[in-house]
Structure formats: C-alpha cells, structure tokens
Amino acid sequence: MKHITFYLDFLSPYAYLAFEHLPEALKGVSYSVSYTPVLFAGMLKHHGQLGPAEIAPKREWTYRHVLWLAHSRGIPMQMPASHPFNPLPLLRLALACAPEAEPGAPNRYVCETVFRHAWRGGADAVDAQRLASLVQQLAPRRDMQGDEVKAQLKANTDDAVAQGVFGVPAFRVDDKLFWGLDALPMLRDYLANAAWFAQGHWEGVGAVKTGAVRRPS
C-alpha cells in the first residue's frame, strides 16, 4: 500500500476540490494519506511568484473555473465573502488539532471541517465569530497561537519546499510529486502501477534543455 502526503492550504479552492474529490478519484486503489497543512504564500515567496488571485484577470477566471469544476463534479461550493483571505488562523487551528503521534498532519475530519467552513455557505472565512465557533467545534488539543503550532506550520512548509513543492494541492508518493486537481488521474495511474511510469517518461523530462530565458525588465 502506497502512502500519499497531501500538501494543502485552506486558502486554495483547488486544494478544497482535490480534498473532496480524492476518495472518488482513487476509489478501488489501496493507499493511506497524511494531510499536511502548508502556507502557500510561503511557497510563492520562495519561488518568486504571485498567486492566481493576485493577478487581476486571472483572479476572476480562477473563481469561475473552480465554481464550474465543483458543479461538474457535484461538489458543493460557494466563494467566501472575500478572497484571498489570511489562512493562518485556519492552518494553525488544524495543526493544533493534530494527534501527538503525527503533529504535522491533522486527520481528514479536521481538514474537512475547516475546508467546508471556508468553501461552503459564502460567508467570511476568517470572521472572528465564525472562527470562535469553529475552534469550539474542533476543540484543539494544543494552543493554536502557541510557538509549537507556529513552528510546526513553518516546518511543514519548509519541508514541502525542500521536496520540490511549488503549489497546492500537491501529492507526494515515493520520490514523485503530483501537482494540482487535474493530476489526480495521473496519481491514480501511478498507484495502480501503470506501465508508463516504468518507461523513462518521468525521468526523461530532466534532459530537456532550457531555451529562451525571460529576464525582468
């Protein structure tokens, strides 16, 4: 049985859709999962990128796209009242609920509850009253504002970057990284031992030379 490390940030609508769709996408395949909250903004900073919601024309397209994707997959979804929002309270809350044996990986119930808090109902994801109710519902075992939880989020993010993660959702299995909602069929193929992965295609892309390089003006 293969193990998947699922890197996620509750800020990302694609991470929400991938989280909801994962059981259906991998139905019939034997696997286990660690849900690993990371700070997407930290990855963007590391790689010198802007997020989709920080590029004006891409922002509206992204929202239209994710709503259509949700509709096409039968996943309930409404845009929160404002986006992007600061995901730190949600990330820290999830990690504060993680078990002692695996402090960097909250269980599926916790992640599901936080994702649905943000992406169902159309309310403000970080409204103080709603957050207080969410904290009460999940009853974290650790202080979500404590140094231990903050350090865990940083460690999760740093480890993800070290593993080559550049965005969310991302899925690591063995030495392979799969990125994005649309990578779920490819991930399924790998877990099912598809022949394609033994034919050198995965490794072969490393031989492609860099051509033209765009330099900042």
pTM of the prediction?
0.96
Query: What structural domains and CATH numbers belong to the chain?
Result: 2-207 (3.40.30.10)
Nearest to 95 by CA among 169, 160, 153: 153
Alpha-carbon Rg for the chain, nearest whole angstrom, is: 18
Q: Which two tokens stand for residue 166?
A: 């550049």
Return mean pLDDT, the chain: 96
pLDDT in tens, 176-212: 999 999 999 999 999 999 999 999 999 999 999 999 8
Q: How confident is the model at residue 138 (pLDDT cuts 50, 70, 90)?
A: very high
pLDDT at 216: 67
pLDDT at 101: 94
Inform me whether the pLDDT recorded for 215 exceeds 80: no
Inform me whether the pLDDT recorded for 169 exceeds 70: yes
CB atoms within 10 A of CB 84: 16
